[in-house]
């Protein structure tokens, strides 16, 4: 179906707080860099995860729009992307979507949307790059409706020697990789943010450099029995 519009009222509000630096070169090569992975395993992982998104959906760090064609049951998708270079590509790919999509300029740490305004939040390959994952997860929890779900696909810190190597190379990697941290334990951060994991699969995708392995696929929902982020901050 394609675009409903770029920078709707919510997007404009979020734009005021956006502070993510543009990575023009990264945006220009991103789809080509991922091409083989998309064809061999990443595309099918996206499809399986994103097909579970229902109702009003927020996708954080939507990048060039690689997930857009996989939404089936969403009522509408708010595709938030704070990097102007990525957002320009995202805007060109809206026709991939079969559901209404709006584009917003909003960093995950300060989404700018009202409390409890989405049924699903989707995050693929984003929590490795946000400046403050705990703040981003608190925001995600804030904007999710009760019973809503967080769908995550992400590379995470490994174990043992590999983890220690990832720790050592992260300062350099994040400079060349548009802020990507290969050593984040994102599953633990999601639990710490007050989510219950309905599904958590850790896997080693084929032909992916060891620095950005393993991956996790997570389906989580706000833990209604636990404290909310605002109660503990
Ligand atoms: C590796 S790309 C992933 C793009 C897309 N989600 C995908 O699955 O292909 C990381 C994305 O996170 C975005 N990003 C970086 N910092 C962010 C932040 N603080 N909040 C939201 N998105 C952010 C980048 O602009 C980029 O589009």
User: What's the CATH code of the domain at 9?
Assistant: 3.40.50.150
What's the average model confidence in pLDDT over 100-125? 98
Supply the DSSP string of 151-200, one letter for each residue.
EEEEE---SHHHHHHHHHHHHHHHHHTTT--TT--HHHHHHHTTEEEEEE
**Does any domain span residue 111?**
yes
Q: Is 131 in the pocket of ligand 1 (CB under 6 A)?
A: yes
Is residue 233 in some structural domain? no
Domain-embedded: residue 39: yes
Rounded to two decimals, the pTM is: 0.90
Q: Could you give the CA distance from residue 101 to residue 68 in angstroms, rounded to a whole number?
A: 8
Q: Does 121 sit in the ligand 1 pocket, CB within 6 Å?
A: no
Residue nearest to atom 16 of ligand 1 (CA): 130
Say if 231 falls within a structural domain: no
Q: Give the domain extent around 39.
A: 2-225
CA of 184 to the centre of ligand 1 (A): 15
Q: Is the CB of 108 under 6 A from ligand 1?
A: yes
Q: Give the count of domains, the chain.
A: 1
pLDDT of 9 higher than 50 = no
User: In whole angstroms, what is the distance from residue 60 CA to residue 109 CA?
Assistant: 10
Tell me what the pLDDT averaged over the chain comes to.
Answer: 90
CA 201, CA 220: separation in Å to the nearest integer? 12
- Identify whether 34 is part of a domain: yes
Nearest to 69 by CA among 43, 32, 89, 34: 43
Residue 230 falls inside a structural domain = no
Query: Which pLDDT value is given to residue 224?
Result: 81
Q: Most distant CA pair in the chain: distance in Å? A: 48
Write the pLDDT tens digit of every residue in 174-233. 998 899 999 999 999 999 999 999 999 999 999 999 999 999 999 999 998 755 544 444
């Amino acid at each position: 179906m394609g675009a409903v519009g770029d920078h709707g009222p919510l997007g404009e509000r979020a734009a005021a707080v956006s502070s993510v630096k543009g990575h023009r070169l990264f945006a220009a090569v991103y789809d080509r860099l991922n091409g083989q992975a998309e064809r061999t395993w990443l595309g099918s992982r996206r499809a399986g995860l994103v097909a579970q998104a229902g109702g009003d959906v927020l996708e954080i760090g939507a990048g060039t729009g690689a997930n857009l064609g996989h939404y089936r049951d969403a009522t509408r998708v708010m595709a938030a992307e704070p990097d102007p270079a990525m957002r320009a590509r995202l805007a060109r790919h809206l026709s991939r979507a079969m559901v209404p999509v709006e584009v917003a300029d909003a960093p995950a740490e300060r989404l700018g949307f009202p409390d409890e305004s989405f049924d699903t939040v989707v995050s693929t390959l984003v929590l490795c790059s946000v400046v403050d994952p705990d703040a981003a997860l608190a925001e995600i929890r804030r904007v999710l409706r009760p019973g809503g779900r967080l769908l995550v696909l992400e590379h995470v810190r490994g174990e043992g020697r590999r983890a220690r190597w990832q720790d050592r190379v992260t300062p350099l990697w994040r400079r060349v990789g548009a802020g990507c941290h290969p050593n984040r334990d994102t599953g633990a951060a999601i639990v710490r943010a007050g989510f219950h994991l309905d599904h958590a699969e850790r896997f080693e995708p084929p032909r992916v450099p060891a620095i950005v392995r393993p991956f996790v696929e997570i389906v989580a929902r706000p833990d209604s029995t636990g404290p909310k982020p605002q109660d503990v901050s």
